[in-house]
Amino acid sequence: MNPTDNITLTGLRANAHHGVLDHERRAGQVFVIDAVVYLDLSAAAASDDLDRTVHYGVLAEEIVAAVESDPVDLIETVAERVAGVVLAHQAVTATTVTIHKPSAPIAVPFEDVSVTITRAQSAPRNRTGFSV
């Protein structure tokens, strides 16, 4: 296994209503998501078989749907939710997720605020997806 293999999705955009303040919940705002998906890509590369990797188009849609659902107060909570979506894919061993909130209610000039988390499978899985 090559632990440095990854698929990276950068700049996914989702409109959602997360935040502590009432106006954030009412009006909503754009959140930007980056996800690095760690997995062994050697079998997919050797076989040219999509089933041996993660379909990044499907994953992108799943991530945006997760961000756009069920408003919460913290982007930390959103990041955990996205990590769970990524880790649900059989081939994935770990993920790093960044949630950007470029329109956060901050009183001073700023470019972006973000939270980044890294999560891994709790137990190694074999090719069938079962824990070993």
Show which residues are catalytic: 101
Q: Provide the b/e sequence for 6-40 (b: ≥16 CB within 10 Å).
A: bbebeebebebebbeeeebeeebbebbbbbbbbbb
Tell the residue number behind the tokens 């891994």, with chain if given: 120
Tell me how far apart the alpha carbons of residues 132 and 130 are, in angstroms, rounded to a whole number. Answer: 6
Longest Cα separation, the chain: 53
